[in-house]
Amino acid sequence: MYAPAPLPAMIGQRLRDGASAFGARAKPYLPALAISSALGLLAVRNILEDAGRPAMPLDDSFIHLVYARRFGEGAPFTFSPDGGFSSGATSFLWPLALAPFWLIGFRGLDLVWIVWALGTVLHAAVAVETKRLAEPLVGRAAAIATAAMCLLFGAFAWFAWSGMETIALAWIMTRTARVTSDLAETAPHLRTRRLAVGVALAGAAAPLIRPEGGVLALVAFAGLLLYPPAGSERFGAAARALLPRLWALVPVAGVLLVPLLNVALTGHARSNTTIVKWAVGNPYFTDERLTQLVLGNIRMLATELLSGGPYTAIFLPEQTHWVLAAGLVSLPVAALRAKRLPRALAVLALVLATLIPCTFLTILWNRVRYIWPFAPGWFVLVGCLGAALQALVTRWKKDWDFVALLVPAVFAGALATKLTWSLNDLANSARAIDAQQVRLGMWAEKNLPEDARIGVNDTGAIAYFSERATFDVVGLTTEGEAKYWVAGPGSRFEHYERMPREKLPTHFIVYPGWMGMQAVLGERLFEATVTNQSILGGATKVAYVADWSILGTGSQPTTPQPPALLLTELDVSDLESEAEHSYLVGGTTENDNAVFTSYDDQGSLLADGGRHRRILDRFSVDLPAGKPVKMVARLASAYAIDVEVSIDGQKVSTLSVPSSGWAEVSADLPASKTGPRARIELRAIGWTDPAEAHTGPDGKDEPPSFGSMHYWFYEAQ
């Protein structure tokens, strides 16, 4: 008769089986983990020597720690203690992964050790996944060399111990490409649900680590549609065909989760980071300008960044772009020889996704960090180049089967020559962030009132260490501020005028030049200056008392006006006022949106937001039909200029604007032209003195243009 094993023996056997299975799964990672650990020790040692304590090289790294703390405190998706939902987290999963460690007691700088440990594991993991992705295309030896490229790549070393989600994104995208390829290459009857679940979860996780991972989510979606797991025999033919393909919805859910959450809690799908950094949707980028920006970024990517130019010399050897171009040509050759077309397409998707950062306002942020997660795809291309060259050479030299390994191995060695430079820069940058951002955050915690609200333009370390409420003037972590930052200083100033004073910052810790409105920076309290660095937004960052006394000083005309009824007004740069009056922004840029200042007769400083370089101002106003109206315009011009005023396309007046940074001129609008939604146009028609030399700051001839700040419409007397 069968006697069941005692319970302790059963538990022991299960534990042994689990340990054995874990050991088998972990074994392929051990060589890579050994190398990653050695590099990690060097990186951490350098940082500790330079900074004197745990430190991270980017202020954004501390933003993740703040969001992780908020998860741990039971206030997920918030940033500032006094704020609500913030759509500023660039990664959904990275802070979530850190939150448990905060809960068990890793606080302050202690949490940096956890970040470093996770970076070490992910550094090894991305190398293993790159090998697995490449091996069916290029063979085992060359695939090992592609893993070596990942391990010896300076950018991966820099970001693995930076606290950023860069390496996590590189790993999940490479894994998604690999498991989707495995699914496609598995015989239909062997495609298990477990394999499909692996593809679905990897595809869903990729966009939750960073939005760029959505490209690989689409790869997983396509793979699950085209190569579904085998259906159960319990269902009919139609159900067997449809039900397994439902796994394709999981990656789609990963893509949609964060945008839908944003819509539900903020009313807009785009995150704050997207609003600030993405050129698509930026109000100043028309189709033509957007196209020029993207093409310019692609050109820079291809000819400078991937070539080891000035911005990437610390990571990439010179002329790398030619190696990658040859690898791109070799990819279809390797795919055809190995009969691995789906895998080649997955690699191609990973490579082409490198173009996504070319749609950002700049591709150069933070050591060009947005392009590196796609590097595993580049390294597979180098492996394909070796495989293609071997196929070519062995036509004449049958025994030259080492070529497939030689090419990627030599490239891995070339990458390794940059490691010392990369790790030294990592330590130098971490020291700079610690000496400025972290120092200011700790100073604020000791010296500012507990109810202080700090206006910041790099919000991570100051928010993390100060324990104070923050107001992100850039808008990355303070909801609703991003569009005003994108618009320019003039629009931010006008926005602050509309805000309740109790919601405005009580203090600022900013780079003074970033604000674009010096008048709101009051008493100077403290500053941190760091030289010998290239990672900071400025050498000196300053803590100020906020001074809001300037707000509203330009809301009324400064020239005497008759006591007539004010009918309506347009406040230029005030985004809400501009929208109300259908104001045409036109071809100007955010640099033309500024705060204008002047002094009144008593010597008091006045300020008003406005826009420079206006060739044409066009807007609509509701005026009483059949009644004359007096328009008062606050304009500016470097030289005396004539401006034509028209209503609904018909000229009604010409204004002579003197050379001034702040002038108020008026025009009488006839009763025959007034009415609801009257379209007002002011057009620069020429300098008042054509013989005068009209030169801009660059010394070139300046075409006629004016600055506009404000329009008031009064009943005519």
Q: What is the 3-state secondary structure (H, E, C) of 109-147?
A: CHHHHHHHHHHHHHHHHHHHHHHHHHHHHHCHHHHHHHH
CA-CA distance, 297 to 310, in Å (whole number)? 15
- Region of 584 (left: φ > 0; alpha: ψ -120 to 50; beta: rest) is beta
Least confident range from 145-159, 383-397, 605-619: namely 383-397
Query: Given a cut of 70, is residue 610 above it in pLDDT?
Result: yes
CA-CA distance, 605 to 601, in Å (whole number)? 10
Query: Given a cut of 80, is residue 168 above it in pLDDT?
Result: yes
> In this predicted model, what pLDDT tens digit does every residue of 323-353 receive, in sequence order?
999 999 999 999 999 999 999 999 999 999 9
Which residues, in sequence order, are bridge partners of residue 596? 608
The pLDDT of residue 682 is: 97
Report residue 692's pLDDT band, with 50, 70 and 90 as the boundaries: confident
CA-CA distance, 274 to 476, in Å (whole number)? 9
| Coil/strand/helix, residue 641 | strand
> In this predicted model, what pLDDT tens digit does every residue of 491-524 receive, in sequence order?
999 999 999 999 999 999 999 888 888 899 999 9
CB contact set of 396 (below 8 Å; sequence gap of 6+): none
CA-CA distance, 642 to 635, in Å (whole number)? 11
Q: Please give the structure tokens belonging to residue 231.
A: 């259906």
The pLDDT of residue 218 is: 97
The pLDDT of residue 41 is: 97
The pLDDT of residue 401 is: 74
Closest Cα to residue 410, out of 374, 385, 427?
385
The pLDDT of residue 81 is: 85
CA-CA distance, 283 to 587, in Å (whole number)? 10
The pLDDT of residue 233 is: 61
* Per-residue exposure over 234-249, b if at least 16 CB sit within 10 Å of its own CB, e if not: eeeeeeeeeebbebbe
CA-CA distance, 334 to 384, in Å (whole number)? 6
Q: What is the mean pLDDT of the chain?
A: 92
* CA distances, 275 to each of 175, 270, 386, 486 (Å): 29, 7, 42, 8
The pLDDT of residue 329 is: 96
The pLDDT of residue 391 is: 83
- Per DSSP, helices labelled H in 372-454 are 375-393, 403-416, 419-433, 439-447
Contact 50, 56 (CB under 8 A): no
Contact 431, 50 (CB under 8 A): yes
How many other C-beta atoms are found inside a 10 Å radius of the C-beta of residue 288?
Answer: 9
CB contact set of 43 (below 8 Å; sequence gap of 6+): 116, 157, 160, 161, 423, 426, 427
Least confident range from 83-92, 101-110, 191-200, 233-242: namely 233-242
Query: Given a cut of 90, is residue 20 above it in pLDDT?
Result: no
Contact 666, 676 (CB under 8 A): no
Helices (H) and strands (E) in the chain — how many of each?
A: 26, 15
The pLDDT of residue 230 is: 82
CA-CA distance, 95 to 210, in Å (whole number)? 12
Domains of the chain in sequence order: 29-55+109-275+286-416 (no CATH), 430-546 (no CATH), 566-715 (2.60.120.260)
> In this predicted model, what pLDDT tens digit does every residue of 222-247 receive, in sequence order?
999 999 998 666 666 676 678 888 99
CA-CA distance, 425 to 445, in Å (whole number)? 29
